[in-house]
């Protein structure tokens, strides 16, 4: 990694030495909600090549941000996970997401990974925007329960349950992204067949209203 160094004494420059390469921070993003196999990372980061992903993982492991570990039998597969220090990147990533949400150049409708959606929700959640809720999101690769409280957004992935919460919405991360952040209404998504819902409709509406986007920052460069 020394060959790509900015050779600048500022800690911010050193941070870019560690995570400034293309895809590096997105690999970290994907691991914030738990360990993943190489194939899992490839399926979520749809545009990355196997060679680039291998290189980024090696770089992050060398920087002690990521570690590789072999699961015990019967799985016996290799997984990648964040170190304790690597997990501290969650707050900087959330801050970057909140900042970039105000960009006039932010494109809608692009692919969205499960981890990307959950981090966006955590970044943009405002408890005063709508009120409390507990909603199960049935997405590919398993369900997630999100609970909005005055103290923040709780996210639980180990939710292979048949009981509460009874309020559910089934959709892909990309469709949920379009509803929460892209201006697509729940009604229009239902009409198109992109989502399925069950349970408390008022709670679902509170859920959707809890992630307001910031005003787009547009400043004139003319005197």
Of the listed ranges 21-35, 81-95, 136-150, the least confidently predicted one is: 136-150
Q: Which domain holds residue 181?
A: 94-209
Q: Verify that 141 and 201 share a domain, yes or no.
A: yes
Residue range 6-64, pLDDT digits in tens:
889 999 999 999 999 999 999 999 999 999 999 999 999 999 999 999 999 999 999 99
pLDDT at 62: 95
Do 113 and 199 lie in a common domain? yes
Residues 100 and 179: beta-carbon distance below 8 Å:
no
Whether the Cβ atoms of residue 91 and residue 28 lie closer than 8 Å to each other: no
Residues 6+ apart with CB under 8 A from 49: none
Cβ-proximal residues to 217 (8 Å cutoff; 6+ apart), any chain: 102, 103, 104
202 and 118 housed in the same domain = yes
Question: How far apart are alpha carbons 159 and 116 in whole angstroms?
Answer: 19
Residues 151 and 175 in one domain: yes
Please tell me whether residues 53 and 113 are part of one structural domain: no
Residue from 20, 49, 143, 38 nearest 81 by CA: 38
Boundary of a domain, candidates 23, 57, 88? 88
Cis peptide before 204 (omega within 30 of 0): no
Token pair for residue 135? 């909603």
Listed residues 64, 88, 112: the one ending a domain: 88
Final residue of a structural domain among 68, 88, 108: 88
> How many domains does the chain divide into?
2
DSSP lists the bridge partners of residue 136 as 145, 168
The answer to whether position 148 is within a domain reads yes
């Amino acid at each position: 990694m020394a060959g790509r160094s900015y050779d600048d004494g500022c800690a911010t420059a050193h941070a870019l030495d560690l995570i400034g390469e293309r895809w590096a921070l997105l690999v970290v993003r994907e691991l914030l909600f738990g360990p993943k196999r190489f194939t899992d990372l490839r399926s979520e980061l749809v545009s990355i090549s196997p060679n680039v992903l291998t290189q980024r993982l090696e770089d992050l492991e060398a920087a002690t941000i990521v570690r590789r570990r072999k699961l015990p039998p019967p799985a016996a597969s290799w997984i990648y996970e964040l170190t304790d220090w690597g997990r501290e990147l969650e707050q900087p990533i959330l801050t970057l997401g909140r900042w970039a949400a105000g960009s006039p150049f932010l494109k809608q409708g692009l692919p969205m990974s499960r981890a990307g959606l959950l981090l966006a929700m955590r970044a943009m959640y405002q408890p005063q925007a709508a009120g409390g809720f507990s909603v199960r999101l049935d997405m590919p690769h398993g369900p997630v329960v999100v609970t909005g409280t005055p103290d923040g957004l709780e996210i639980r992935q180990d939710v292979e349950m048949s009981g509460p919460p009874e309020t559910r919405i089934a959709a892909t991360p990309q469709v949920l992204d379009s509803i929460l952040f892209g201006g697509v209404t729940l009604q229009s998504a239902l009409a198109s067949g992109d989502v399925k819902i069950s349970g408390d409709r008022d709670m679902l509406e509170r859920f959707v209203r809890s992630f307001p986007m910031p005003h787009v920052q547009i400043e004139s460069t003319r005197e």
